[in-house]
Each structure stands twice: as structure tokens, then as C-alpha cells.
Amino acid sequence: MPDSKVRQNYHEECESRINKHINREMYASYVYLSMAYYFDRDDVALPGFSEHFRNQSLEEMGHAEKLMKYQNQRGGRILLTDIDKPELDDWKNSMEALKAALALEMAVNKELLDLRQLALDHNDPQMCDFLDSGLLRKQLEEIKELGDFITNLERVGQGLGEYMYDKKKCTVKTYQSNKSF
């Protein structure tokens, strides 16, 4: 493989971990896609949740693409690997899916924080800036939003409450998500 003409102060360990995180974002996209089409099923029929998770899938894929563009800008090489299957096929209900989504976002956030620490360890301020401005801030917003969704869904309960929440809150979120992405 030819050497990069633009590579500067980009440690091989950072390059490798960026590639691993690209896979993690694609996995998150895959999980959200699974959730989206679970809620789209005729025996579940919660279109607001389906649309919300479909938008989340697109957003996570956008993060992966942002990381790939960054990898190229730094003179790194993108190495894609197999994407794991989501741990669940049946998300049971919106509460279980939201809790799984929150756990996923918190795991992604931890990996980003570890990646940022690696950049600090290798004295890479450009990578720190990229992570701070491009991904870590967004992770905090996602974690807070999911926490709020869970709290409100606990308030209204399953059944009719879940149905009404799907009609009102998820539709509002979907519109806002499309505007910001």
C-alpha cells in the first residue's frame, strides 16, 4: 500500500482504533435498523418508534461516514470488518428497545472517551478536536434524549400510554431529527 502524502502526527494506534469505531457506529446503525423494522411489523404497529429508530440508524451511519472521511483526511487507511448481528431480534416493547438503545449509546460514548484519551496520550490535538466537536457532544445529546424518552414512557406506561406516546412524542422527535441531520 503506498504511503500517504498527507499523514502527519497520526499514530498507527489511533488509526486502528478509528477503524474499530467505524465498525462500532455501523453496528449501532444495524441495531437501530433492526429496531425500526421490529416496530414496523403488523403485530407491533408503532410507526413513530419505527421512524425514530430508522432516523437513528441513518444518524449512526452518518457518524461512520464522518469517521471514514476523517481517516482519509489524516492519511489513514480504512479497514472495514464484519458487522456483528444485533443481540436481539425481538425487542418486546418500546421500553425494552429504548433501554437497549440507551445502553448502546452509553457504550459508544465510552469508546469515544477512550479514543479521545488515546489521542491525548499520542499528543494528537486534531483528533481530540474532531472527537470533541463532531461526536462526543452529539453522544451527550443522544444519551439525555433517550433518558428523557424512558422517563416519559415510564410515566405513561405500556399499552394505551405507549400508543399515545408513539403518536405524539416520536412524531415530534422524528421531525426535529430530520432537520438537524
- Residues annotated in a binding site for Fe cation: 25, 60, 63, 105, 139
Are 21 and 109 spatial neighbours (Cβ–Cβ below 8 Å)?
no
Distance CA 173, CA 178 (A): 9
Are 116 and 128 spatial neighbours (Cβ–Cβ below 8 Å)?
yes
Chain center to CA of 131: 14
Binding residues: 25, 60, 63, 105, 139
User: What residue has cell string 414496523?
Assistant: 40
User: What residue has cell string 425514530?
Assistant: 52
Distance CA 21, CA 15 (A): 10
